[in-house]
Amino acid sequence: MEKSKPISLTKATIGVDIGGTKIESALVRLDGSIATSIKINTPSNPNNIIQAIYALIDGILLERKEFIKGIGVGAPGQVELHTGKVIYAPNLNWHNVPLKELLQKKYSLSVFVDNDVRCAMLAEYKFGAAKNISNFFCVFVGTGIGGGIMIKDKVLRGITNSAAEIGHITIEKDGSKCNCGNYGCLENIASGPKIIEYVIEMLKKNRSIIKDIVNNDLSKINIDVIQKAFELNDKVAIEVLKRAADYIGAGVASLINILNPEMVILGGGVIDASPSLFEIIKKIIFERVLNISKSNLKIVVPKLREHVGTIGASLLIES
Ligand SMILES: [Zn+2]
């Protein structure tokens, strides 16, 4: 008689998603479901972040080490792929952190580190909006603007693993200086903080319901507030979202003309908080792209919300 097989976790992977405000670690099964997850606030001192990551992984590893295939990590910045070194992560204040080496030494497991936006794209590809889609790209608008490109089921990385940096395409020839050193970058005009900055500038000269919503405390302005004002037909909110959408739409439409994808996923904190912004961007994209690329083009929001970063990071071990 054949013995029944025990329910096994043989192919589970640890995913770690390092964000500027939270770090999450999870044990992710092959089907993308989460077995366990832990989340903590990101320490403000960059030197303490590694210890925090160790603590999270230790928590996941308790009793389960023999089942783990490896550790995948998504980091919010530039990652050197072959060494797994985080070259620069502005939100963590990290420079040249040899993350892969540190984790491999400590846990003797295979470790793979990549950019967090790319991890989110992998999760959408495997389990989300882009399931069964071979040619698509993602644009995530949040504190910055990041992207990921999938061509024929392969991630486009470029020669220095820095492909798809849509946030740093020049969208305004004589625009202001971006953190990257260039002038007129998309991110420097249409990221969440830049949208809020523009609202505050507009409020100096215009009447708006936004001031009432935040009780004149301008530090409380966020994208939710702008969305709410937009729904109430507020002129400042309409102008601000239209302006951001114009720039994002122009950037995305240019990329569509280059790549001719089947789908574009528009996500990130700003788009999540403003369905109106999503709709205006979509309209602008369809006004701008070549007719021939419109016929099979879908512009959608991401399908996965919770754990998208950790699920995506866990997929690095397979890819
Ligand atoms: Zn830039």
Sequence-ordered list of residues with C-beta below 8 angstroms from that of 138, at least 6 positions apart, any chain: 117, 120, 121, 124, 130, 147, 148, 264, 265, 266, 267, 302
Question: What pLDDT does residue 5 have?
Answer: 44
Rounded Cα distance between 252 and 257, Å, is 9
Q: 85-132: per-residue pLDDT in tens?
A: 999 998 899 999 999 999 999 999 999 999 999 999 999 999 999 999
The distance from CA 192 to its chain's CA centroid, rounded to whole angstroms, is 13
How far is ligand 1, taken at its centre, from the CA of residue 170, in Å? 8
What CATH class is the domain 12-122+307-315?
A: alpha beta
111, exposed or middle or buried, with CB in 10 Å at 0-12, 13-18, 19+? buried
> Where along the chain do its domains lie?
12-122+307-315, 132-300
How far is ligand 1, taken at its centre, from the CA of residue 117, in Å? 16
How far is ligand 1, taken at its centre, from the CA of residue 202, in Å? 24
How far is ligand 1, taken at its centre, from the CA of residue 228, in Å? 29
How far is ligand 1, taken at its centre, from the CA of residue 313, in Å? 25
Residue the block writes with tokens 């937009």: 230
What phi and psi, each to the nearest 5 degrees, are found at residue 23? Answer: -120, 130
Q: Are 14 and 106 a contacting pair, CB within 8 Å?
A: no
Tokens of 286: 């369809």
Question: What pLDDT does residue 4 have?
Answer: 42
How far is ligand 1, taken at its centre, from the CA of residue 210, in Å? 29
Q: Chain-wide mean pLDDT for the chain?
A: 93
Question: What pLDDT does residue 67 have?
Answer: 78
Q: Are 14 and 57 a contacting pair, CB within 8 Å?
A: yes
How far is ligand 1, taken at its centre, from the CA of residue 171, in Å? 10
How far is ligand 1, taken at its centre, from the CA of residue 175, in Å? 11
What phi and psi, each to the nearest 5 degrees, are found at residue 245? Answer: -65, -35
Question: What pLDDT does residue 306 have?
Answer: 87
Structure pTM? 0.90
Element (H, E) at 253: helix 235-259
Sequence-ordered list of residues with C-beta below 8 angstroms from that of 276, at least 6 positions apart, any chain: 227, 230, 231, 241
The CATH superfamily holding the domain 132-300 is ATPase, nucleotide binding domain (3.30.420.40)
How far is ligand 1, taken at its centre, from the CA of residue 146, in Å? 11
How far is ligand 1, taken at its centre, from the CA of residue 30, in Å? 36
**CATH topology match: 12-122+307-315 vs 132-300:** yes
The DSSP result for 180-223, as a single string, is TS-BSBTHHHHSHHHHHHHHHHHHHHS--HHHHHTTT-GGG--H
Rounded Cα distance between 221 and 231, Å, is 15
The ranges of the chain with pLDDT < 70 are 1-10, 63-66, 319
Question: What pLDDT does residue 259 have?
Answer: 97
Element (H, E) at 16: strand 12-18
